[in-house]
Chain A
Amino acid sequence: MEIDLLQMVENGGCSAKISPRQLEEILKFLPLPDDPDILVNIDTHDDAGIYRVNDTLALVLTTDFFPPVCSDPYEFGQIAAANSISDVYAMGGDPVVALNIMMFPSAKLPMEAYAGILRGGYDKAAEAGVRIIGGHTIDDFPPKYGLAVVGYIHPEKIITNAGVRPDDYLVLTKPVGTGIILAGQRLGIASPDDVEEAKRQMKLLNRSAAEMMKKYKIRGATDITGFGLAGHAIKMASASGVSLNISMKQVPLIGNTYRLSEDGCIPGAAFRNLDYTTENTLFAPDLDYNLKMIACDAQTSGGLLMSVPEDRTSALLSDLHASGLADSAIIGSVSVKKQKLLYLNN
Chain B
Amino acid sequence: MIIVDTCGQKCPAPLIATRRALREAGSEEVIEVITDNLTSYNNLSRFLTDNYTDFSVSEEKGKWTLRITRRSETGSFTKPQDYCSTSPDTFPKGDFIIVFSSDRMGEGADELGHLLAGNFIKAVKDLDLLPEKIIFYNKGVILVSEESPVVENLKDLEKMGVELLVCATCVNYYKLEGKTTTGILSNMFVIAQAMASAGKIIRP
Contacts and interface: CB of A to CB of B under 8 A. Distances in A.
B17 interface: yes
**What range describes how many residues of B lie at the interface?**
20 to 34
Nearest to B16: A264
A271 B51 contact: no
Interface in B1-33: 10-13, 15-20
Please classify the interface of chain B as helix (H, G, I), strand (E, B), loop, or mixed, using the class held by over half of its residues.
helix
Contact of A264 (B19, B46, B84): B19
Interface string A32-67: 000000000000000000000000000000000000
Interface string A263-291: 11111100100100010001111110100
B85 A285 contact: no
Given A187-B13, A338-B126, A286 B80 contact: yes
Contacts of A339: 86, 90-92, 160
Interface residues of A, number: 24
A187 B10 CA distance: 10
Interface in B94-135: 126, 128
Contact of A285 (B12, B15, B83): B83
A127 interface: no
B147 interface: no
Contacts of A289: 50-51, 76-77
B16 A189 contact: yes
Given A10-B10, A282-B86, A264 B18 contact: yes
A338 to B, nearest CB: 6
Contacts of A266: 12, 15, 43, 47
19 contacts: A187-B12, A263-B19, A264-B15, A264-B16, A265-B15, A265-B16, A266-B12, A268-B43, A271-B42, A271-B47, A274-B46, A278-B85, A283-B84, A285-B80, A285-B82, A286-B80, A289-B50, A289-B77, A339-B92
Contacts of B15: 264-266
A338 B128 contact: yes
A263 B20 contact: yes
B81 interface: yes
**For the complex of A and B, 8 pairs with smallest distance between CB atoms:** A264-B19, A264-B16, A268-B11, A264-B15, A285-B80, A271-B43, A285-B81, A286-B80
Contacts of A189: 16
Interface in B36-72: 39-40, 42-43, 46-47, 50-51
A264 B128 contact: no
A67 to B, nearest CB: 14
